[in-house]
Amino acid sequence: MKKRVFLALLLSEEGKAFLRQWTEKYIDLPVRWIAGKDLHVTLVPPFYIGEQELEHAIALLQNIEFNASFKGVFRCITLGPDPSQPRLIWAEGEYDAHIDALTEKLAQVFSQEQGRQFRLHITLARFNNDQYKAFPVKKIDEEIFWEEYFDGIALMESSLGPSGSNYIILAKRNLDK
């Protein structure tokens, strides 16, 4: 059976706490909040691999040569990806050039095409159009300032459950400093 996997940056405990604190003021919105343990930045979008390919994928992750950690600066929490037809609440930010090099290298090593330009974001909640109609507020666009230092990447599995996606970390690798 094939696994749906992707490559991601994991957040620090401080970053997760910052976002948990922010979500408290919107906790009653009719959305599916992403659990703190599942917050991440997707570097390479989901793709499918077989069980027999998993060991190879983990070895690829462990052996990739990349010599820089980097930081992202998150500046706003808003509705996305298209504010006129939102389906997410997410934190968006700016990043240094190392992340572009890393996403390109990962896509190449894992033979995945980058379908769109990388956009540094963390999905905090998902919702559909009917849920959005029930929102007491129709606009979320809050300035924040939070720096996150990324020093590792993970191969994660995503599976759909009754209440949304479930994530499992299959392998982690530190980035060289």
Chain segment 52-98, per-residue pLDDT in tens = 899 999 999 998 887 677 889 999 999 999 888 999 999 999 998 88
pLDDT of residue 108: 87
Q: What is the mean pLDDT of residues 165-171?
A: 91
Q: How confident is the model at residue 162 (pLDDT cuts 50, 70, 90)?
A: confident
* Tally of structural domains, the chain: 1
Extract the runs of DSSP E, i.e. beta strands, from 115-163: 121-126, 141-150, 152-161
pLDDT of residue 65: 80
pLDDT at 176 over 70: no
Rounded Cα gap, residues 55 and 47, in angstroms: 15
Q: How confident is the model at residue 14 (pLDDT cuts 50, 70, 90)?
A: very high
| Contact indicator for 173, 152 with CB cutoff of 8 Å | yes
What is the percent of the chain where pLDDT is above 90? 61
pLDDT of residue 59: 92
Pairing of strands 164-174, 121-126: unpaired
Boundaries of domain holding 25: 3-174
Residue 149 sits in a domain whose CATH number is: 3.90.1140.10
pLDDT at 100 over 90: no
Rounded Cα gap, residues 7 and 10, in angstroms: 10
Q: What is the mean pLDDT of residues 123-138?
A: 92
Rounded Cα gap, residues 124 and 131, in angstroms: 15
Rounded Cα gap, residues 15 and 132, in angstroms: 26
pLDDT at 19 over 90: yes
Rounded Cα gap, residues 149 and 15, in angstroms: 9
